[in-house]
A and B are shown apart, each in its own frame.
Chain A
């Protein structure tokens, strides 16, 4: 008996070695490949969108919670074209947008955050579905800036903005000497205009469309410095996590179709009939010279 135990033990050890070194065993020590957002969206047929309320792009009915607006309608049509259900899962402020993308709390931020170099390090943006023309709003009786907007770039001047919203970038880029009057990230955009009207700030920057409601309800309080060209921003429709190039491509291709078939223009005109807030994207084709 003693003579046979050793080779039997060797055989058992050998079998254990084969099992232990097999691919099944090896693979169980590897981390499973993480499913991309693109693959998950196609598999589930659902695109989970975060949003930030910003009329008329994203409007939330205070009674029903129902969403509407240029971006909501365009995103829903993107979903319809792709056979995807859009779930509006999380309301966020402009400061928080990218955190949820990184943690997977949602698949995309579907509220048209403007692309700039700092944001491009945080997320991947679709092509623009329009360009936004930003105007300068001042008190109706304030003539300090009528000759030149350069007068805004002064430490005695305060500019109202919402944390993380595009105005903050205009200030940093073009009016770095001016002071900030910052409102928290989820504040209603009309509060920046209210801040100027009530002298908490001197100036704010906004598109004519989002300002329309305030201007209509508060006639004579504020005016737009019409003389000066607006700052124009490319307005992507959706931001997706970094690395999700297939998802970005899919959305871009659909946006291009909606630009070509007139859907984007019809939605923008529905909310801004004279198109003084939004510039359409240039046609990508030409006749030869």
Chain B
């Protein structure tokens, strides 16, 4: 055979090999398409749930010396993993900006974002959330000697009042909803919560909005500077424990079923009380049944 014949023969064999590779491997359907493995399937197959997290006291705290994570979201997530026979890997720390959560889920950088989020319509556009593990009422923090809002929070909703907030942080959404006319003193995304409270203490802002437990540490270290208007709770935020990529309903379902078990067997209440013994920061979810 001359070189044309040899060339034709090689090309023919290569074409058949390519066809065989495209159509005969087990991962492919009969049409030759490659189906992407779902996160649920991958997590089940590997036995590992890779979590991104956001530091937010007392939900997720990081020991600055050891890097070890603690907090009620960490404890609950680890227990969800134990119940489902999954190893939880805390792979990525994120800032408050929700766009990073969405991007990371879409690019498979992690399987779930495991932090106490606020479920809001705009967040729900970007990700699927688990059912709530609790509800967290928000309160206004003001300077200890500021009595303008003691009788009512109506006065907070004024352009002359400045609310300290951290860009992308959940309470900023609730502050915008409840006090849309107030001015904002904005801090960058990765700022520590204490900076927002410090801004109120030093007069850069007039008020900040946080759960009780979040501000406890600052109040303990800075006695007499701020007070919490406990008599006027702002609406509670709906707090799921995980966010998943849209479409991952099987993964959401197994996590939800586990959360329901942990609600019923008392684990969630016990864990919340470990970090907030009086439960004045968190509302437990209502029992789903009536007792007659």
Contact = CB atoms under 8 A, between A and B. Distances in A.
A254 B8 contact: no
A7 interface: yes
20 contacts: A7-B2, A8-B4, A11-B11, A17-B11, A17-B16, A21-B22, A22-B18, A29-B31, A30-B31, A82-B125, A246-B246, A249-B124, A250-B121, A253-B129, A257-B121, A282-B286, A284-B285, A285-B283, A285-B285, A287-B279
A250 B121 CA distance: 7
Question: Which of A21, A29, A83, A253 neighbours the largest number of chain B CB atoms within 10 Å of its CB?
Answer: A253
Interface string B185-208: 000000000000000000000000
B16 to A, nearest CB: 8
A21 B249 CA distance: 36
A23 B22 contact: yes
Given A15-B11, A18-B15, A288-B269, A254 B121 contact: yes
Interface of B: 1-2, 4-9, 11-12, 14-16, 18-19, 22, 31-33, 119-125, 128-129, 132, 134-135, 177-178, 235-236, 238, 246-247, 249, 269, 279, 283-287
A286 B285 CA distance: 6
Question: Which of A18, A21, A78, A257 neighbours the largest number of chain B CB atoms within 10 Å of its CB?
Answer: A257
Contacts of B16: 17
Contact of B119 (A29, A83, A253, A288): A253
Interface residues of A, number: 43
Nearest to B240: A253
A273 B12 CA distance: 80
Interface string A1-29: 00110111011011101100111001101
Given A253-B124, A286-B285, A18 B4 contact: no
A126 to B, nearest CB: 12
A151 interface: no
Contact of B121 (A27, A29, A82, A284): A82
A8 B6 CA distance: 10
A1 to B, nearest CB: 13
A280 interface: no
Interface of A: 3-4, 6-8, 10-11, 13-15, 17-18, 21-23, 26-27, 29-30, 38, 42, 78, 81-83, 245-246, 249-250, 253-254, 256-257, 260-262, 282-288
B212 to A, nearest CB: 14
B120 A253 contact: yes
A11 B284 contact: no
A249 B285 contact: no
B238 A7 contact: no
Nearest to B120: A257
A14 B124 contact: no
Given A14-B8, A18-B11, A285-B284, A81 B121 contact: yes
A81 B121 CA distance: 6
A22 B22 CA distance: 9
Given A4-B4, A8-B4, 12 more contacts: A7-B4, A10-B4, A10-B9, A14-B12, A22-B18, A78-B121, A82-B122, A253-B120, A261-B178, A285-B134, A286-B287, A288-B279
A287 B8 contact: no
Contacts of B122: 81-83
A250 B8 contact: no
A29 B22 CA distance: 15
Contact of B31 (A26, A82, A262): A26
Given A21-B18, A285-B284, A42 B125 contact: yes
A30 B28 CA distance: 13
Question: Which of B8, B18, B236 neighbours the largest number of chain A CB atoms within 10 Å of its CB?
Answer: B8
A15 B12 CA distance: 8
A83 B120 CA distance: 13
A150 to B, nearest CB: 23
Nearest to A256: B238
Nearest to B7: A11
A282 to B, nearest CB: 7
A8 B1 CA distance: 12
Contact of B15 (A21, A26, A257): A21
Nearest to A20: B15
